[in-house]
Amino acid sequence: MPEHRNNIRIPAREKRLQPHSTNAIVVSLPSKGDKGHSERVTKTAYLSLGSNVGDRLENLRSAIAALQNQGKISAVSSIYETEPVEYTDQSWFLNCAVELETELSPHQLMQEILRFEHGMGRVRSQPKGPRTIDIDILLFGDEQVDRGGLTIPHAAMHQRRFVLEPLAEIAPDALHPVLRKTVSQLKEKLHSDQSVRRLTEQ
């Protein structure tokens, strides 16, 4: 069951996701006039965030705040409550997608993500099991990576409604460099019957 409807705020310049219910995440986004660091950013990564342990909304808020230290967040999707897949004997998740502009390499970004997940107390005792926070790199520009335990594009992203629904909100035209289909096209072809419901709107 979803938590009590509370707004989550990250201070600074803000772009508000207007609540469909009363859940909302407010994140700091770069303004058009920003110079300096933004001129050095050359890569765009798309990430999937999820949580089903503890205060799920607060966990997503903390993850988004941490990601801002790795670059600039350009977009955040609505928040979705999603049915668990594969290992189904667990609580439902809250999920969202994030667009991050970063100077880090894919492996550098993954190392920062793993460090943050560990700091939030994630324990990998059950494959696909409950987790305080889960952050996956879905796409990293047009790069293809399959080494050092990292696969980009994410190997299962095209099969997961909890990934494609939020990602299609913020990047419908992003191209999967292996399947050569856009995120919107992948979502349209998805046959998954996983239950996904939006809790907030952009």
What residues act catalytically? 122, 131, 134, 136
Backbone dihedral angles phi then psi of residue 127, each to the nearest 5 degrees: -55, 130
Q: How far apart are CA 134 and CA 162, in angstroms?
A: 13
Q: How far apart are CA 5 and CA 91, in angstroms?
A: 18
From 13, 33, 41, 44, select the one nearest 174 (Cα to Cα): 44
Contact 59, 119 (CB under 8 A): no
Q: Which amino acid is at 81?
A: E
